[in-house]
Amino acid sequence: MGGDVTIRASDEDCGLSAQSNNKTKTNHQNDHRLPHNQPRQLQAQARPALPLPRKSPNKLEKGALGALFNHLKPVNPDQLIGDWDGHAINTEHPFTKELDAINWAGNSFDATRDDDVDLYPTVILRNGHRVPYEGWGFASLREIKYNGVVSSALIYNTRPALVHFRHVNDRVVAGVMESREFGKNGNFYFYLVK
């Protein structure tokens, strides 16, 4: 398995970068070392330095995550086509327990708005295999304006939830789910890796 990943904000390009601990170490006080099975460079348009592991022991503030998300570039629905591994960002959001209960593995997109096809985008692990999760019903990808940026969003047909996506790099997208079901818990933040 790979080494740790260091994620830090870069003032030069206002980017979020990650470097394998096997190659680079830094003393920057906002660095976070994270387990990661495939070290690689990650670039995103954002100012805050934030760790992005699914099981991080450190709780992250939703306000900082919202600011980070709002600095990211939009993503086109066609760029989402394919299979993605999902990772919740630790904000102690109760929705993480629901994802753990269904054994959430990520998302899979095989159609866009142009195809006019509904899909089961949520993927779970069952007996070691990725399978569509039908419990949340069909959904479709659309471009929707969120916080002033038009980007891809996932709209569930029967679940009161809207998932907005932003581009991090060709293999990583950030996501935020908003839902009436969340009430005072606010939005749920996560990221997907291709």
With a pLDDT cut of 90, the percent of the chain lying above it is: 55
Count of helices and strands (H, E) across the chain: 2, 14
* Cβ pair 140, 152 in contact under 8 A: no
Q: What is the pLDDT of residue 163?
A: 97
**Domains in the chain with CATH codes:** 62-193 (2.40.128.580)
Taking only the tens place, the pLDDT of each residue in 50-64 is 344 445 556 778 888
Per-residue H/E/C for 129-184: EEEECCCCCCEEEEEEEECCEEEEEEEECCCCEEEEEEEEECCEEEEEEEEHHHHH
Taking only the tens place, the pLDDT of each residue in 102-114 is 999 999 998 655 5
Q: Is 185 exposed, middle or buried (0-12, 13-18, 19+ CB in 10 A)?
A: middle
Query: Residue 70 — very low, low, confident or very high, per pLDDT cuts 50/70/90?
Result: very high
Q: Which residue has the higher pLDDT, 101 or 41?
A: 101
Q: What is the pLDDT of residue 59?
A: 75
End-to-end distance of the chain based on CA atoms, in angstroms? 18
Taking only the tens place, the pLDDT of each residue in 150-181 is 999 999 998 999 999 999 999 999 999 999 99
